[in-house]
Amino acid sequence: MAVVKASSEYIFTLEIDQLLSHLDLNEICAQLRNLTRLRVTYGVKQIGMKYERMLFGMKISDATNLSHIIKMSNTLTTLWLPSNLLDDDLLRMLMTGLVKNTSITSLDLSHNKLTNHGARLLSKLLGPESVITTLKLCDNQIHAEGGRYLSRGLKYNTSLVELDLRLNRLTDDGGRMLLEGLVDHTSLTNLNLSSNMLGKESAEALAEILSDSVTALRSVDLSSNALNESDGDVLLQGLQQNSTVIALDLRQNTQIPADADCLVKIAQKIRQNEVNMKSPSSTTDGGSNT
C-alpha cells in the first residue's frame, strides 16, 4: 500500500486480468485520486485440471465494494468488468453506484450472465441525462424482452455512440423492438447485433433508420443472423438515400447467397459513401473541376 500511496498521482489506469483474492478494492482505489480506467476480472488463467468453480466470478462483497468505488469517483470514465459471471443480482448491487455516477462514459459488461432483468436495470442508465457513450453487453443472455427494455432507454438517449449486443438471444422480435428505440437517435455511430437470430422485422426496422437523414450510423454488424435475400433487398432500399454508413456486415447469413445482387449493390453503395466522406467536396460541387 505504501507503493500505491507514493505513486498515486501518476496512476490513471488499473487493469487486473485475473484476480484470485476478493480483496476490498476500496482500499486501493481510494488512494488513486486520478484513476480514470478500471478493468477487473475475478478468476485465474491457464488453470487446467485444477479448475474449481469458486475460483471464478464476482462475489456479493466484490459488487458491494465496486459500487462504492463507482459512487464516490468523479474521475472514473471507463469501467470494464468482462468475464465475471456477473448476473442480474450482482448488477443490481452495482447499479446503486452506477445510477449516481456522472463520469463513466464507457461500460463493458461482456461475457457475463445478464438476462432481461439486467437489461431492464441498464436501461435506467440510458435516459436523456446519460453520459455513457459506449455500452458493451456482448455474450450475455438477453432475450426479446431485454431488447424492449433497452429500447425504452434508447428512445430518449442522446449520448450513446457505440452499442455492442452481439452473441445474445434477441431474436427477430427483440431486434425489431430494440431498433424501434433508435429511430430518431442522432449520436449512435456503431451498432453490433451479430449472432442474435434477427430476421425480416429487424431488417425492416433497420432500413427505416438507414433511410432517415438524422441517423449518424456509420458501422452496422448483422453477421451470423437469419436474414435472407429479401431482407438484403430491404436493407439495400434503406441505404439508397443514406450517406453515413461505411460498413454493413452481412456475412454468415446463410440464406443470402454469396453472389446475391443485393450484396453487390450494398457493397457499391457503402464504397460510394466512403469515397464521398473522404472527399466531401465532390458531393457539393457535382465533382466538377473549376
Element (H, E) at 275: helix 261-278
pLDDT given for residue 23 in this prediction:
77
First to last CA, the chain: 68
Q: Name the residue range of residue 124's domain.
A: 114-279
Q: Which residues contact 169 (CB under 8 A, 6 or more apart)?
A: 141, 142, 143, 144, 196, 197
**222 domain residue, yes or no:** yes
The answer on pLDDT for 144 being more than 50 is yes
Question: Does residue 140 share a domain with residue 225?
Answer: yes
- The C-alpha cell at 119 is 437489461
pLDDT given for residue 237 in this prediction:
98
CA distance 254 to 242: 26
Average pLDDT over residues 55-61: 85
Question: What is the pLDDT confidence band of residue 288, given thresholds at 50, 70 and 90?
Answer: very low
Kindly report the CATH number assigned to the domain that includes residue 189: 3.80.10.10
**287 domain residue, yes or no:** no
For the chain, the domain total comes to 2
Question: Does residue 69 share a domain with residue 163?
Answer: no
pLDDT given for residue 22 in this prediction:
72
Extended strands (E) in 26-111: 37-42, 78-80, 106-108
Q: What is the per-residue pLDDT across 239-277, written as a single tens digit (0 to 9) for each?
A: 999 999 999 999 999 999 999 999 999 999 999 999 999
How many CB atoms within 10 Å of residue 212? 17
The answer on pLDDT for 289 being more than 50 is no
Question: Does residue 170 share a domain with residue 126?
Answer: yes
Q: What is the per-residue pLDDT across 166-199, written as a single tens digit (0 to 9) for each?
A: 999 999 999 999 999 999 999 999 999 999 999 9
pLDDT given for residue 10 in this prediction:
72
Mean pLDDT across the chain: 91
From 37, 56, 81, give the residue that closes a domain: 81
Question: Does residue 248 share a domain with residue 179?
Answer: yes
Question: What is the pLDDT confidence band of residue 280, given thresholds at 50, 70 and 90?
Answer: low
Element (H, E) at 23: none
Helix (H, G, I), strand (E, B) or coil at 114: coil
Q: Which residues contact 279 (CB under 8 A, 6 or more apart)?
A: none
Question: Does residue 199 share a domain with residue 77?
Answer: no
pTM summary value = 0.91
Q: What is the per-residue pLDDT across 16-56, written as a single tens digit (0 to 9) for each?
A: 887 767 777 888 888 888 999 999 999 776 666 665 656 67
Question: Does residue 245 share a domain with residue 201?
Answer: yes
Asked if residue 263 lies in contact with residue 230, where contact means CB atoms within 8 angstroms, the answer is no
Considering only CA atoms, give the Rg of the chain: 21
CA distances for 228 relative to 90, 177, 196, 259, angstroms: 39, 20, 14, 13
